[in-house]
Structure 1
Amino acid sequence: MKTSGTITAGLAGACVDEGGRLIEHFLLDCASRAALAADLVRLGRLENDTDEIRVDQQPVGWAPLDRTLEQLSRGQFTLDAWILSGSLGLADVVEGLVAAGAWSRVKRPLRRRARYDTGRPRDRWGRTPERELVQPLGTIPASHRDAAVLLLARAAGLGDQDKEIDEVLYRTGELRWFCELAWRAISQERAKNLQAYGAMRAGRVIGAPG
């Protein structure tokens, strides 16, 4: 499948800074799981009834999504619980994007942090469209996909936290029921972990410098 247009790839792109470095944080792992599930909703592979998650287990052809289907089909978690505690994360998404040829890993000297080329155009400040989404003066996106990317990024702490979320939710269209669930779960988790959230907002990332 073409991965570049997925919500998952969009969110991952928002997590790569202007220098190509991956911003890593446990809330972004939660948001990445939510993005994977959102893509399954878009594909008609995931529905959430009041009592259970209904999953079409037929593989879609991209490892992170297929692993998501496998985990959700076990029925061990509610959807919001899986978003917060599933075993997949941002690193798995990035590896999947590199393996699919959508991203490339830039060669770096030994013991330097990996950098990534997401294959997306950049503006004069080196920002990709996904990074522009989470800038303080960014506009509310028109597409359902980009609105979902922005909402999940903001839930995890990226982007302008002072803006109202209602209009972004409205722009998610048919994904709104899921985006509301994901927003509530991740933002509540963020509120319980304000110290860790503050570290991410200060720009501290996990891994060796450079």
Structure 2
Amino acid sequence: MNYSLFDDASDVQPWTEAICEGALILRHFSIPHETALLDGIQQISSKHPFRHLRTPNGHRMSVAMTCCGEVGWVSDSEGYRYSAYDPENGEHWPTMPDSFYSLAVQAADEAGFPGFKPDSCLINQYQERSRLSLHQDKDEKNLGAPIVSFSLGIPATFLFGGMQRTDPVQRYYLAHGDVVVWGGPARLRYHGVALIKEAAHPLLGPQRINLTFRQAT
């Protein structure tokens, strides 16, 4: 299926916005590839549906999630961790589509992180009033590898802080097709997503889909 909003998506010109040393936004990066991304999301979520995980203290997360790759990220009363199995059905997570892998590697390379080998993709579904509180991505064994985060659907405000939770936070508007990459000196900076406002996207309706690629194992 052709999802593109553009007559010729190859005419969309990407550009780069720096955040800080080790972190940047690749604006419009994934628009030429949105059909492959959305097809992959549909295939994965049809077998492993989005679900709202619970934090170790029992709080229901406002963001729904599914995963693909060698391991997926899970949260329950036992804590936060990566697992090769979907806790909902005990099955292995779906294999990461080749298109996902190649685009994540390309984005990392363009951001100055060659050699990225993602083995996990967290697929988050945001809807009105969803949010993601400030946190560090530190469950991965290889903290030398960057985080590569694709945005699709309605816009969001990306929060990017410092090495301490109380450090000042920068706010960045993320639109459909934008990709954020951070690693190196920025790898353990706190980050999150502000409360999602009511909106509708021509392709995805009232939701934002975020694909976050990690080298977890």
TM-score by length of 2: 0.27
Q: Which has the higher contact order (CA 8 A, sep 6+)?
A: 1
- Structure having the larger proportion of residues in helix: 1
- Structure having the larger proportion of residues in strand: 2
TM-score by length of 1: 0.28
